Amino acid sequence: MQLPELYRVRQRFAAHSIADMPAAVRARFAEFDPGGKVKPGQSVAVAVASRGTHDLRELVVATVQCLQEMGLRPHIIPAMGSHGGGTAEGQLAVLRGLGISEQTTGVPLRASMEVRCLGELDSGAKVFFAEDALAADHLVVINRVKPHTAFRAPVESGLCKILAVGLGRQVGASNMHRYDLAKTIVPAAELILSKVAVLCGLAVTENGRGGSEHLVLARPEEFVETDRRLLEEAWRLFPRLPVERLDLLIVERMGKDVSGAGMDPNVIGFWRREGGERSPDYKVVVVLDLTPASHGNATGMGMADLTTRRFIAQVDFEATYLNALTSRIFRAARQPLVVEDDRRAVEAALSAVPDSLEARVGRILDTGNLETFWVSRPVLAELRGRQGIEIDPAPLALEFDRRGRLKPFPS
């Protein structure tokens, strides 16, 4: 089969990335008055989520240092629901894979899947919370505020979600997903905040370039409003492909460090996860690889139409199915059609197009890296002349190595 050539496209995102995250963290803590809550020698658990956040290691390390300067004894705990296979060892492995370790932070990492029920919401949802977080004198939570991949609400992913879902561990996350997250996250977080010694939360937003755009240190009473305000900002900054229709989208890799959904449905089409209007309408999505930081969790592969044997060989089905069972989005763990290699995947995707050389094709590294992408010639006409779009006129051939793997394009 003849394959279309692709052209490199760059889109300029409005962005003002934080240049020095440690300095930004120190500045926020310098303005923070704990109001007599803190006594020297007290313990503080620093809860860290599994989401891939651009400056996560620097953010966590600087937070630990600031807490130590306040006279506290910090340690780090995971706040990631059922991720890491739903085990303490697996969640510690996820943290270390994100650069959060005893060596990088200088403090202990502790994990347990034990939880306690703190109460019940009007909806009937029980609110479970991590025992190791309750055992500390204080709790600090760190999370990125971003659009959720499965629902729409004034508060989606952020500080409230890390309390209500992430720190509920597997039991709590599973229970929360039995109810409407859009309606339960805030009431659950408010119940937790009324009963747990939360010192503060650090919320960060990211821009289209993948850098950290805003950092807010919020007091417990500010969590809900901080999440609301930063979610609006996150939507403004959210990167998308400026193309509404494709015959084929090639996604080089997916993973939990890219998006909680593996591939962000806000990029490839929310309908692929939740149904509804096909916008954008990418008829076939091919995913080629799974990131190492996913630790085999391939949640989201069900949104792809085709994949490769090497992708499937990396999947930890037990961890993937546990994630899907916990979230109750079963189709996220469905297996796409599996073919031998990248070449066969691309050719199979284009087999339904009458003229493969005229196919509307896009290629991205992953759904979190969209500043540079590649498209075939029929797509170029609608991109030319757009503000913030730069097109390289030199065509690039889709080339494969002897194993049938797609060769990388120069960035």
In contact, 145 and 158? CB cutoff 8 Å: yes
Element spanning 133, H or E: helix 131-135
pLDDT digits (tens, 9 = 90+) for 166-224: 999 989 988 888 888 889 999 999 999 999 999 999 999 988 887 899 999 999 999 99
Number of H helices, E strands in the chain: 15, 15
If you search the block for the tokens 């599973």, which residue do you land on?
174
In contact, 262 and 66? CB cutoff 8 Å: no
pLDDT confidence tier of residue 358, bands split at 50, 70 and 90: very high
pLDDT of 54: 85
Beta bridge partners of 63: none
pLDDT of 22: 97
Mean of pLDDT values over 48-69: 92
pLDDT of 175: 87
Whether the bond into 280 is cis, omega within 30 of 0: yes
Does 130 have pLDDT greater than 80?
Answer: yes
Identify the CA nearest to 240 among candidates 207, 216, 214, 201: 207
Strands 126-130 and 245-251: unpaired
| Distance from C-alpha of 94 to C-alpha of 318, rounded to nearest angstrom | 16
List the end-to-end C-alpha distance of the chain, in Å, as a whole number: 26
| Structure tokens, 313 | 């060989």
Candidate from 118-132, 223-237, 267-281 with smallest mean pLDDT: 267-281
pLDDT digits (tens, 9 = 90+) for 74-107: 999 999 888 888 899 999 998 998 899 999 999 9
pLDDT of 385: 86
pLDDT confidence tier of residue 40, bands split at 50, 70 and 90: very high
In contact, 80 and 166? CB cutoff 8 Å: yes
In contact, 252 and 365? CB cutoff 8 Å: yes
- Helix-helix angle 181-195:223-237, to 10 degrees: 140
User: Exposed, middle or buried, 17 (CB in 10 Å: 0-12/13-18/19+)?
Assistant: middle
pLDDT confidence tier of residue 281, bands split at 50, 70 and 90: very high
| Structure tokens, 159 | 């500080």
Mean pLDDT for all residues in the chain: 93
Candidate from 170-179, 224-233, 351-360 with smallest mean pLDDT: 170-179
| Distance from C-alpha of 130 to C-alpha of 117, rounded to nearest angstrom | 9
If you search the block for the tokens 């073919």, which residue do you land on?
339
Does 280 have pLDDT greater than 80?
Answer: yes
pLDDT of 328: 84
Homologous superfamily of domain range 32-237: LarA, N-terminal domain (3.40.50.11440)
For the chain, domain boundaries? 6-14+240-391, 32-237
Beta bridge partners of 6: 376, 396
pLDDT of 371: 93
Report which residue type is found at 281.
D
In contact, 43 and 398? CB cutoff 8 Å: no
In contact, 322 and 303? CB cutoff 8 Å: no
User: Which strand ranges, in their side-by-side order, compose the sheet holding 389-391?
Assistant: 337-339, 306-308, 281-287, 245-251, 361-364, 372-376, 6-11, 389-391
User: Exposed, middle or buried, 93 (CB in 10 Å: 0-12/13-18/19+)?
Assistant: middle
| Distance from C-alpha of 193 to C-alpha of 242, rounded to nearest angstrom | 40
DSSP for 198-244, please give it. Answer: EEEEEEEEE-TTSSEEEEEEE-GGGHHHHHHHHHHHHHHH----S-S
| Distance from C-alpha of 62 to C-alpha of 56, rounded to nearest angstrom | 10
Strands 389-391 and 6-11: antiparallel
